Structure 1
Amino acid sequence: MSISFPLRSAPCSSSEIPGRCILEFYASELRLRGNIPIVQPHTESGDVLCWNGEVFEGLEIDPADNDGQKVFERFQRASEPRSISEIIGNIEGPYAFVFYQGSSKKLYFARDPLGRRSLLIHKPTLANPIFLLASVSVGGDDAYEFEELPTDGIFVLDLDTLREPGNFVTDFHNSFVVIPRESGEHAPFGAVKKVNQSLPPDNLPRIDGLDAISLPIPLLEAVEQLISHLDDSVMLRVRDIPQALGDAGNAKVAILFSGGIDSTMLAFVAHRHISLDEPIDLLNVAFENPRKKQVQLDGNIGALPKKKKKHYFKMLEVGSSGDGDRDSSSYMVPDRITGLQEVEELRRLCPGRVWNFVEVDVPYEDSRATRPAVEAAMYPSRTVMDLSLALALYFASRGMGRVRDASSSEYRPYTSLAKVLLSGLGSDELLGGYGRHRSVFTTRGWQGVIDEISVLQLQLELDRIPTRNLGRDDRIISSHGKETRHPFLSLSVVSFLAGLPVHLKLDPRLEVGMGDKTLLRLAARKVGLVEASMRKKRAMQFGSHSARMEGGEADRRGDLTISSTSAA
């Protein structure tokens, strides 16, 4: 999706404003809603909409309908800018849009409050006096000064004010306004709910374990509510996905699967809402990492603690059977080990389901060769951590790997054709999954945890998610013609968890693996995911070994140098 002016090439849809402006609209459809292909941009009576999103709540849409068309119909009836904000405030789902209202000569554009879809903006400069909005990046092209569009409101450009001769760059900035998001009863999804800051009672009991036998009533109720909210969120994100022509029998849904509690819980809940005759793909990525390989040669296998080496060799023996052409030890990374364990737990709990555990192995030379393309797609994100995460997402979402039907069978090449990928992003921010929550409890007690998660951190994490994570992830994954859906970041789930007292979400008095994300661990245990409920948090870039592949300070921290050649 993109919109630019002045006119530079043949447009898909264009609209000329008398004076200095010619608008140019481009858009394409991945077609994950409705029964028939829809041509974008949506156009009628001088109005134009480029829509990149999904409506999951707030707007009645039949499975046979296209949500972009429904949003366009609502926008066309809007009489003033506030009406656009009210319409958007009633929609829950990931979106980025650009809407031109011909009658008012106004251009509206925005992302959802969490920025789950990419939308980049280049404002006119003296060197390049062109206004450009795009859901994809041009890489480090010096001609453009792209930045992520903020999510704090609906942006409006009054093109009627640009009709008269003058300084285009100055006039543009004077015509640029932001409408605050509507919130409240008439716009339930207009903004992220603030976090409950109440202190726990002085005599708060410790739980003895993750079994429900001795849990206090408020915690038992919160567990049931979380399961219900998450169940609804996943259901809305996996139902009614059309089957592409010729893809019958292939998975329509895949999970970005590390074997951790977040991705395993999503896989289990998705199983409830996907027909049993459809397979589900579990995408598990592992990188050949020269640093880690050297550590293996030096005796510390995969940087694992010594007590886990025995289990490592056992999993390595299983993982390498039937494939003598591949050095499987290079790919027996932490996420591969936990992934192999958790797919077996899913198979025990979900008989009859075909789980395709897709082992996506990335040789070091492949990751190096792909790096320029990944850097271009993720830009303007440009840190070393951005690259580590983007590489993992790029190869995982591409879905090219190998599977086997049982632990004793031969491997076969496999490419996932699923266009919908579920991600567990957001659970750590919402449920206190970071080590710093435990650290601040040690120094400042419960008040410190509340300050950290409620005021200073959770809200900041949610505010930073749009610029630090989701826009980048969307650009990377959509480069393969696929889209990510984030059940934990449904605004319904976010609002529920934000409203809970902090002591119902985590308990840093308990050991790691129980006190962090305690509520989610209890929910996982409740549905039978015993092994998953005890998994410790591990960041994707470290669990897959996509981080710190080479030596040198630049590979450890700081910004990358991305040249214009990366945009090719």
Structure 2
Amino acid sequence: MCGIALIISGVRFQLSSLIGDSTPQTEQKPVFSIDDLKAALRRRGPDSLGAKKLLLQPRISRPFDDREIASLVGKQEAIETDDCYLQQCGDKSRNFGLANGRTVNLQSELTEKHKAAAEFHFIGATLQLRGTSPIVQPLVDSSRNILVYNGEIFGGICTRSEENDTEILLQALESCGDASGKKFSVIEESSRTLWFGRDAFGRRSLLVHWPTADDSRFLLSSVSPVSPLEQSSDLEVENRINGRKFWEELPSGIYSMNVDAPSGDGFLVSDVRKHEWADSMLQELINWERACVEPRPEDLHTSRCKTLTVQQGEQLAYSSMPPPESGPTQAPLLVAAETVLIALRESVRRRSSLHTIFQADTRGLEKEHVPMAILFSGGLDSMILAALLNECLDPRYEIDLLNVSFDGQSAPDRISAKAGVKELRNIAPSRKWQLVRIDSDLSTLTHETKHVMSLISPANTYMDLNIGIALWLAAAGDGWVCEGDDEDYLHVRYRSKARILLVGSGADEQCAGYGRHRTKYKNGSWRGLHEEMKLDMQRIWKRNLGRDDRCIADNGKEARFPFLDEEVIKVLLDIPLWEVTDLDQPSGTGDKKILREASAISFIWLTCFFRVAQLLGLYEAATLPKRAIQFGSRIARESNRKNFGSNRAANQASAGSVVINTKSGLP
């Protein structure tokens, strides 16, 4: 994983079914060049970067005779065409594009019509995290199929320890067939179809440029490159062409693009179609419907009695007194807690298993090796991930806890992170936990801010920028650590070398962790809360994950999202909403109840009825209120002062949703 790009030119696109009326297309100077895209991907520090160019000609209606062939031999280069296809398979994750290429016969090679050929440029940047042999994308199989793939396989296809998942995916696609048993490499040879897509929840960034009159090419890219317009500091122009953004987040899903010539015209045309997911379970998760939304009075009474029992039990456990015996009324609570815990642990295990991490260099197994890091605030979600990672990762390896602050040691996230790492050292004293303190000053980040603005694009609000800067700095892992547990001891400069970063995205959306969830509950009761949570999950690809992935990947790191594992989502959806959250309770208590109450016990498995994080031995984290990274790091406060004059003025202007004003200079 690192990033991919695809550029198609020389094709007339019919896109009305996807983006409304298509704009008449004329040839204009491109906003981004191929080299721009390569540079943007190369900046991420991939282990390899490769590209492949293919030409696709219009079909010819008659053969050439010998004299025509003789007159053209030696004047034309052999032209390689590509009949494109990508087969949907069982794996549900990440971005892909596939093409089947073959050498055309001599008559086709020599046709003058090659001047109107479509060009396909495939670019693949690989941050190799799996397999024992280095690879360079795009990959080509024995049938001349081409694959560029941005992601990791965590289910659906079995991969062995020595295998690279991109190679395994290509083999699986080549062996797929239709209902008649024919291989797609055969039946698609004449279909001239390209398949591309983005996973169901948008965990990997994939931007699209639909052809316009200003730039008639079709582009897909993991990141928006820096354009000449951006270099002129006119970011508003850079992000928009004739009132429309150049880049858009590609909606999650599977797409196909058939490329062929219309009768009597000779030019290649294409329509783009979006397809439904074939996996019924995945479609249910996308629809995000919960069976039990509105409780009966007796359901609420039973649930709150259990909560009271849990609170009494955690106080007994924390004071080292024998816990109360569990009776029949606690059994449902235990089942829900254990089910969530098992699903989360398995999700973390799949994303942290050492055999899935690229180890061609055996020196990487030294004790000092840091295979993984966690975006760490010391709050509930990151503490749960840390405790689970400790269970899944060999104890000889260090774990870096990356914490960013714009207010030194006074930022809320810094305070909770310091408390959190002490708690982790108590429950896992044999593990070396590295709290990496990343301190920054917004006023000194002029160049960096400009760069992050290009990364978050097409997002363009101050909230997006604040989150993007905080994530970008945290992922870089460039800060300082304390030698020893004493905070007054020697401070040492440190830069995390971990290339995999666990992130808690998805926990708040699924467990009602945002303030607006409480508002919706008060205004619309349980049904209103459910609809708001459903909206959050169905737009997380657009509002959150693409932006976050681009900011993290820019540092040569891969973000992995255990809370967004399909099995975790399914388990949480199967639990009644009133057991997941109880927003009649105060902030820091009822929100994310199924996670919060489970984090309060400081000893693993002390009682049989405490919920997820209680089973992990985390007590202090359970009492912390939810804080988004822009608030916990205090970048939002500094941004408000800089751009609006004060927090009060920013709040009056609803600063988080205000579009960045680039005409008055960079923020």
CA positional deviation for 1:437:
3.4
CA contact 2:520–2:528 (8 Å) conserved in 1: no
Is 2:518 the counterpart of 1:429? no
Q: Give the equivalent residue in structure 2 for 1:52.
A: 150
The 3 A distance-change label for structure 1 pair 163 and 561 is: farther
SS of the aligned residue for 1:352 comes to coil
Cα distance in 1 for residues equivalent to 2:263 and 2:554? 37
Most deviating of 432-441 and 34-43: 432-441
Deviations 1:178-197 (A, max 9, x none): 11111326x68984642234
Equivalent of 2:55, from 11, 16, 30?
16
The 3 A distance-change label for structure 1 pair 179 and 490 is: same
Equivalent of 2:493, from 413, 416, 420?
413
The 3 A distance-change label for structure 1 pair 439 and 378 is: closer
SS of the aligned residue for 1:155 comes to strand
Cα distance in 1 for residues equivalent to 2:133 and 2:560? 22
Is 2:620 the counterpart of 1:531? yes
CA contact 1:101–1:107 (8 Å) conserved in 2: no
Cα distance in 2 for residues equivalent to 1:511 and 1:472? 31
Counterpart of 1:426, as a letter, is G
Cα distance in 2 for residues equivalent to 1:74 and 1:189? 25
Deviations 1:411-455 (A, max 9, x none): 1000001010001111111111123333444455xxx223322xx
Equivalent of 2:451, from 373, 397, 414?
373
The 3 A distance-change label for structure 1 pair 182 and 32 is: same
Most deviating of 409-418 and 195-204: 195-204
Deviations 1:123-154 (A, max 9, x none): 11122111111111125535671101001x31
CA contact 1:192–1:495 (8 Å) conserved in 2: no
Counterpart of 2:616, as a letter, is V
SS of the aligned residue for 1:28 comes to strand
Cα distance in 2 for residues equivalent to 1:438 and 1:81? 49
CA positional deviation for 1:275:
1.0
Counterpart of 2:134, as a letter, is P
The 3 A distance-change label for structure 1 pair 162 and 537 is: farther
Is 2:113 the counterpart of 1:35? no
Cα distance in 1 for residues equivalent to 2:380 and 2:288? 25
Residues 9-408 of structure 1 mapped to structure 2, 5 A cutoff: 12-19=51-58, 20-44=117-141, 45-79=143-177, 103-138=190-225, 141=238, 145-151=246-252, 153-161=253-261, 165=265, 171-172=269-270, 175-184=271-280, 191=286, 193-203=288-298, 204-205=301-302, 206=304, 207-208=307-308, 209-210=310-311, 211=313, 213=324, 216-240=330-354, 241-243=357-359, 245=361, 247=364, 248=366, 249-288=368-407, 330-408=408-486
CA positional deviation for 1:74:
1.9
Which protein has the larger Cα radius of gyration, Structure 1 or Structure 2?
A: 2
Deviations 1:327-357 (A, max 9, x none): xxx4420000000001000000001100000
Deviations 1:247-282 (A, max 9, x none): 541311000000000000100000011111100000
Counterpart of 1:340, as a letter, is K
Cα distance in 2 for residues equivalent to 1:163 and 1:148? 34
Is 2:528 the counterpart of 1:451? yes
SS of the aligned residue for 1:159 comes to strand
Q: Give the equivalent residue in structure 2 for 1:307.
A: none
Is 2:662 the counterpart of 1:559? no
Counterpart of 1:62, as a letter, is R
Most deviating of 548-557 and 128-137: 548-557
Equivalent of 2:634, from 545, 549, 560?
545
The 3 A distance-change label for structure 1 pair 371 and 119 is: same
CA positional deviation for 1:160:
2.1
Is 2:542 the counterpart of 1:462? no
Counterpart of 1:285, as a letter, is V
Cα distance in 2 for residues equivalent to 1:56 and 1:6? 34
CA positional deviation for 1:526:
2.4
Equivalent of 2:565, from 469, 487, 490?
490
Most deviating of 393-402 and 197-206: 197-206
CA contact 2:132–2:163 (8 Å) conserved in 1: yes
SS of the aligned residue for 1:23 comes to strand
CA positional deviation for 1:167:
8.0
Counterpart of 1:449, as a letter, is W
CA positional deviation for 1:377:
1.2
The 3 A distance-change label for structure 1 pair 189 and 439 is: closer
By relative contact order (CA 8 Å, sep 6+), the higher-ranking structure is: 1
Q: Give the equivalent residue in structure 2 for 1:327.
A: none
Counterpart of 1:119, as a letter, is L
The 3 A distance-change label for structure 1 pair 469 and 412 is: same
**Structure 1: stretches of 5+ with no match in the other structure:** 88-99, 289-329
TM-score by length of 1: 0.82
CA contact 1:42–1:49 (8 Å) conserved in 2: yes
CA contact 2:132–2:360 (8 Å) conserved in 1: no
**Structure 2: stretches of 5+ with no match in the other structure:** 11-32, 36-49, 59-116, 227-234, 315-323, 599-611, 645-649
Cα distance in 1 for residues equivalent to 2:262 and 2:561? 39
Cα distance in 1 for residues equivalent to 2:170 and 2:415? 47
RMSD: 2.9
